[in-house]
Amino acid sequence: MLCRCRDGTSSPIIARMMESAPATAAMTPSTQSLTAKSLAAEHGFPLHGIAHIPESGNTPRADVYAAWLERGLEGPLDYMRESRDVRSQLRTRVPWARSILALGTFHDSAARGERGRDLIAHVARYARGRDYHRIFEKRLMKLALALRKAGVCSRTHWYVDTGPVLERAWAEAAGLGWSGKNGCLIHPRMGSFFMLAEIIMDSAPEPDAPALPHCGTCRRCIDSCPTQALLGSGVLDANRCLVTWNVELRGQSPESTWAEQGAWVAGCDICQTVCPYNAPRRLPAPDAEFAAPLPWQTLTLAECITMDVALFDSAFQSSALRRSGLKGMRLGAITVAGNLKLAECRAAVQACLRDPDADIRRRAEWALARYDAAV
C-alpha cells in the first residue's frame, strides 16, 4: 500500500517512542511472546508475529531492496531511495531495538458497486474504507502501553506505513505471510487483503518462524498486470504501476499510461484478485472499522468527474482516498470514462472542457477522443 512521508521519516503523530518501567526479569521469552500476541489480538490485530532484530540491525531482504533501487525501479518515488540507509539498518533510527511485533488487520475485500456506474467499483479495495493510518494510530498507542504495562518490554516505537521500515520484509520474518510474486504479503489461509503495522520493542520475546513462499509455478499476477509492472517474482517496477500514478502522484501520469489505466480511478487490485489465495471462500471478515460505510461510496463516476471542493471535503473527510486528492480523483474518473466509453459520463466529461484547470481540460479532451474513436 503506498502512503508514506516523503522524507522517509515518521510522523510525530503516527510513530511515537515510548518508555516505561523496565520489563520484569521474571517473564520468560515464551511468556513475553504469548502475552504480546494475546494483547495484539485484543487491540484489533488478528494477524501478529514476532521477529528478532539481528545484532547487525540489518533488515531482512535488504539486499533485494538495494538491488531494486540500483535498477531504478522506485521510479518517481524518491523517498524510497532517500531513506535507503535507515530502511536497511533499523538501529540507525532506533538503536535499542531488539525485536519487532508485526501486525495485520483485514480490510473489506468483497466486490462492490456496479462497474461503469458506481465510483466504488473502480477503486482499489484497500482504499475504500476509512484512513487506516488514523485507525491504527489509536490502536497502536493503546497496544504499546499495554505491552509495557504487562512487562513484555520497556520501550516501544511504532509505525503505520509511513516510516522508513521495510514492513513486508519484517512481517515475512515474523511469519505473517510470504512476499508473493505480486510483491504483496500473502497469508497461506487468509490471502493478502490486509494492512500492516509494527511495534519495535527493546525486548526479545520468542520469535516466530519466517513464512515460506507458496506461489510455486503460478504467475497469474504477473500475466494479468495491465501495465506489465511485475518484472518477475516479487519485482515491481513502480514506474509502470498504476498505483504510483493514480494514488501517489494524484493522477499526474504521463499520457502514455492513460489508456493502460483501464477501469481504475484510484489504485488497482488486479494482481490480488487473480491470486488463488484470495479466492472468495478463503477471505476472512473485514475489520468493522475499515468496513464502515462512508459518504463517498454512494457517488457515481459522473458525480466524481464534476466534483467540487465542497463535495470532496464532505464525502471524503475520513477516507483513505484523500491521499489522491480532489484533482487526482477527477482525473482518474475522466480517464476511466474515456477508456470504457461510458455514455452516462459523457456529459460530465464534456463539462470539464470548460474547467479552469488545464490538466482537467486536457484529460477531458483525451477522453472524448476515445469516445469518438472507432472500436
Closest by alpha carbon to 330, among 359, 310, 354? 359
CA distance 209 to 216: 20
Distance from chain centroid for Cα 92? 24
Closest by alpha carbon to 191, among 112, 104, 263? 104
Q: Yes or no: say if 278 and 224 are a contact pair by the CB < 8 Å rule.
A: no
Q: What is the pLDDT of residue 375?
A: 54
The sheet that has 155-159: what strands, in order across it?
Answer: 17-19, 155-159, 194-201, 99-106, 47-52
**Block mean pLDDT (10 aa), the chain, length 375:** 39 46 69 98 98 93 94 93 92 94 96 96 94 94 98 96 90 97 96 97 97 94 95 91 88 87 95 95 92 96 98 94 94 97 97 97 97 75
pLDDT in tens, 47-70: 999 999 998 889 999 999 999 999
Closest by alpha carbon to 215, among 230, 200, 202, 227? 230
Q: What is the pLDDT of residue 3?
A: 39
pLDDT in tens, 194-247: 999 999 999 999 999 999 999 999 999 999 999 999 998 889 999 999 999 888
Which are the catalytic amino acids? 161
> In angstroms, what CA-CA distances link 111 with 125, 126, 235, 341?
8, 12, 27, 22
Cell numbers given for 106 = 483485514
- DSSP structural state of residue 244: I
Q: What is the pLDDT of residue 232?
A: 83
Cell numbers given for 360 = 482537467
Q: What is the pLDDT of residue 342?
A: 97
Q: What is the pLDDT of residue 21?
A: 46
Domain boundaries, the chain: 17-113+124-201, 220-285+292-368
Q: Scanning the structure block, which residue is given the C-alpha cell 509511513?
A: 162
Q: What is the pLDDT of residue 2?
A: 39
By CB neighbour count within 10 A (0-12 exposed, 13-18 middle, 19+ buried), where does 139 fall?
buried
CA distance 343 to 3: 34
3-state secondary structure of 179: strand
